[in-house]
Amino acid sequence: MNSLMPTPPTAVLPFVDPFGFGRAACDYWRDALERSMLYMDVMRLRGNQYLEHIEQTKPSVLGFETEVLMDGRELPRPVNYELLRVAPPEGGVTDPQMRPFVVVDPRAGHGPGIGGFKPDSEIGIALRAGHPCYFIGFLPYPVPGQTVEDVVEAEIAFLRHVGERHQETCEKPMVVGNCQAGWQIMMAASLEPDLFGPILIAGAPLSYWAGEHGRAPMRYTGGMSGGSWMTALLSDLGAGLFDGAFLVQNFERLNPANTWWHKQYRLYSRIDTEASRYLEFERWWGGHVVLGGEEIQYIVDNLFVGNRLSTAQLVTSDGRRIDLRNVRSPVVVFCSRGDDITPPPQALGWVRDLYEGVEDIIANEQTIVYCVHDTTGHLGIFVSGSVSRKEHAEFTANMDYIDVLPPGLYETTVSSAAERSDAELIERDYLLEFTPRTVEELDREVQHCPEDDTRFATVARISEINLGLYRLFLQPWIRALATPESAKWMRRMHPNRLGYRLLSDRNPLMVPVPVLAERVRAERHPLGEDNLFRVIESIVSDQITRGLNAWRDLRDSSIERLFLDLYGQPLLQALVGLGGDAHVHRRRPGAEPEHLRFIERRQSELREHIAEGGHHEAVMRALIHVLGGAPATDERNFKRLRTSRSELEPAASLADFKRLVRDQFFILTLDHQAALEAIPALLEGQTAAQIDEHLAHIEHVLAASGELSEHAADRFEHIKALFAQARPATPSLPSPGDAGTAPAPAAAIKPATATAARKTKRAKPAGGRAPEGGDKS
């Protein structure tokens, strides 16, 4: 190619082209032609990779060796899911005594494997930490007749099997659910809470009506299409199967600048270095699967449009209510403000839907932790290597800490050790910190709007009407005309699938592409970034991206305005039965009278245990008090406390230790003053040396995170005073006239409440006589 482009002698160039524009233009033109040819070859490889991938029996992008432990097709209610054991990479070792780690893949149009298709992934991080890892993936085609409920029951069976394999660990599996898998495992955990350890849901939508105006365009899709009848139509045209390519297409429309230009231009502009990364991602992004018509209809009706999961309105076929308040495991919600598919309001709105306040969360014995990333996109939450090495690595390393967190609502942040003044006290590169939050503070992320609830309730009613009309008038005709063969051709002709097939070796027009690309690689002349025309190309690309982004913003704002105006019409709301003021548009389970009675009864039961226990309870209560209401401000105190658990209570198991922490937090939350005043009574019977040892232990744990704040130091002084009250009085030497008389007893500590007085043993003097004039209450 270079020989066909003669150039004048070097000595003549300054006279012919004094400013170098001509040479820059020729160099740019040659580089542009070479990049174009290499780009077309990458597109050809992408098409070949796509065809090879979808023709596999079990396509997956999982980057680790696996072994099938359970096949969902063999269950009593068969499904197209599998439980896989993930083998560690060569040279890696897992410890069977450590907590098992289970990743559940999302089934939202793409193929399986996204949670572990790179070394720096959720599975990769867990394997490096030594955890036995398992993966719940799926096959490209559903079992005929399978339902969402069948899938949830299969995941329960898989988790039960994992638990049986690791009974000796005494630790329940940590379960990670990405995107759509998040709501699936939350449904499973609400039905069988005893099977689950800590739960991490990453980018998982649970509250579909929630969203901030101007930043949640996808939530209007159901309303602008008239409800779920379109889903039923596409499933009928697919002969009972719904093509996941339609879901992927919806995702791509959210960011047309990236879909139509930036992603492809990035490859074209960096063709010499970007090809392998691009092909790796496209292998998963283009691996479209299908869903059963009944499955997707259930999802759209009950979740996307009906929003029944976050309001405890789902009921299984055998009558069990799916109530997320039944989940007993700590729940970690990981979301991002840069995510336009599952923005923070949709990931966190379920907390506000189910609970009126933090005291409600505590009474339900639930621990909810949320982490909001500032910039990463939807896929970056569980795909980005930087996120996996930071947030996911910290979540994995601190599972036990999260598992022992007392009930309540917390926001967690991950800070770099290098940027902290106390870096010498931090073991790893990052530090996980927890801050207690209230439901009112959470509302800053949720941005709840009551008027929107009425609008979305109107959409749900209209969806039911339109779906009923479709089923009555059109569905019989569509089902009569659709055949498996027509459905197959409809899937093959989908634009998202056709683009891969046309740019593959199966297209005769692509035959010369690999030959020309090979010649270009042999005689490649890459162009420097300082070339004038390359700079202009970059500027033009930025302008195209900005133009597409402006068009997207105009489109989204117009759709939002139309949605709000249309479904906010009082006449339309009245026509669908939502005009009455007494009608509850959005169920609030936390405000229902029977639930409020449960909270009151639960609090009354806990108050009866304020003065029960011994020195273990006293020490833990003191620690929680000093640290401001949580067992630790960050992971360091917990690690110090857990390491020294053998000193505090040698015979106690880790489960007993966690129960101790949670119970004492409960008691302090219910009646802080009475709980503190009962500490001397809990220490009754301890010697002075033992009390000094307990104080030294508390100080040892507190020192893990550095110097105490002024407020914490004052609280510690208060604890020292309470422990001093429990110190036995030193008996004075008897005088000759008092020989044989026992020393007077120490003053009795009056319990804070009548209940505490009944629970506390009263001191007696030597000889068994009750003290004269003592408190007989």
The pLDDT of residue 380 = 83
Does 458 reside within a domain? no
The pLDDT of residue 740 = 43
Q: Is the distance from CB of 210 to CB of 442 less than 8 angstroms?
A: no
The residue type at 202: A
Residues 6+ away with beta carbon under 8 Å from 325: 190, 312, 354, 355, 364, 366, 589
Q: Left, alpha or beta for 612 (phi > 0: left; psi -120 to 50: alpha)?
A: beta
Whether the predicted pLDDT of 753 surpasses 60: no
Q: Is the distance from CB of 604 to CB of 493 less than 8 angstroms?
A: no
Whether the predicted pLDDT of 535 surpasses 50: yes
The pLDDT of residue 520 = 96
Out of 389, 420, 448, pick the residue that ends a domain.
448
pLDDT, mean over the chain: 84
Position 161 confidence tier, pLDDT thresholds 50, 70, 90? very high
- How far is 335 from 204, CA to CA, in rounded Å? 8
The pLDDT of residue 16 = 61
Which residues, listed in sequence order, are joined to residue 334 by a DSSP beta bridge?
202, 371
**Segment 301-322, tens digit of pLDDT:** 999 999 999 988 999 999 999 9
The pLDDT of residue 421 = 60
The pLDDT of residue 765 = 35
488 or 583, greater pLDDT: 488
Out of 704, 725, 746, pick the residue that ends a domain.
725
Does 384 reside within a domain? yes
The pLDDT of residue 428 = 65
Q: Note down the domain range covering 697.
A: 608-725
Residue 80: HSE in the Cβ half-sphere, 13 Å Cα cutoff: 21
The pLDDT of residue 600 = 73
Whether the predicted pLDDT of 49 surpasses 90: yes
Number of domains in the chain: 2
Does 508 reside within a domain? no
The pLDDT of residue 643 = 56
Q: Which residue bears the tokens 């070859």?
A: 41
The pLDDT of residue 659 = 76
Q: Is the distance from CB of 255 to CB of 75 less than 8 angstroms?
A: no
The pLDDT of residue 597 = 74
**Segment 242-296, tens digit of pLDDT:** 999 999 999 999 999 999 999 999 999 999 999 999 998 898 888 899 999 999 9
Nearest by Cα to 26 from 542, 534, 519, 539: 534
Nearest by Cα to 680 from 772, 746, 754, 608: 746
The domain spanning residue 375 has which CATH number?
Answer: 3.40.50.1820
- How far is 338 from 644, CA to CA, in rounded Å? 41
Residue 759 burial (C-beta neighbours within 10 Å; 0-12, 13-18, 19+):
middle
Does 141 reside within a domain? yes
Does 55 reside within a domain? no
Lowest mean pLDDT segment, chosen from 109-123, 205-219, 300-314, 671-685 = 109-123
Kindly report the three-state secondary structure assignment for every residue of 536-560: HHHHHHHHHHHHHHHHHHHHHHHHH
Rounded mean pLDDT, 502-519: 96
Helix (H) or strand (E) segment spanning residue 45? helix 21-54
Does 544 reside within a domain? no
The 3-state DSSP class for residue 776 equals coil
How many CB atoms lie under 10 A from the CB of residue 169?
18
How many CB atoms lie under 10 A from the CB of residue 743?
14
Out of 448, 470, 502, pick the residue that ends a domain.
448
The pLDDT of residue 466 = 97
Percent of the chain whose pLDDT exceeds 90: 54
Whether the predicted pLDDT of 696 surpasses 50: yes
DSSP secondary structure of 415-452: EEGGGSTTGGG-SSSEEEEEEE--HHHHHHHH---HHH
**Segment 474-491, tens digit of pLDDT:** 999 999 999 999 999 999
Rounded mean pLDDT, 596-610: 73
Position 327 confidence tier, pLDDT thresholds 50, 70, 90? very high
Position 547 confidence tier, pLDDT thresholds 50, 70, 90? very high
Taking only Cα atoms into account, the Rg of the chain, rounded to an integer number of angstroms, comes to: 32
**Segment 165-211, tens digit of pLDDT:** 998 877 899 999 999 999 999 999 999 999 999 999 999 999 999 99
Per-residue b/e over 35-64, b at no fewer than 16 CB within 10 Å?
bebbbbbbbbbbbbbbeebbeeeebbbbbb
Does 145 reside within a domain? yes
How many CB atoms lie under 10 A from the CB of residue 654?
15
Does 44 reside within a domain? no
C-alpha distances out from residue 765 to 562, 728, 772, Å = 82, 12, 10
Nearest by Cα to 123 from 189, 185, 204, 65: 65
Rounded mean pLDDT, 392-411: 84
Position 159 confidence tier, pLDDT thresholds 50, 70, 90? very high
Nearest by Cα to 173 from 103, 233, 84, 231: 103
Q: Is the distance from CB of 349 to CB of 207 less than 8 angstroms?
A: yes
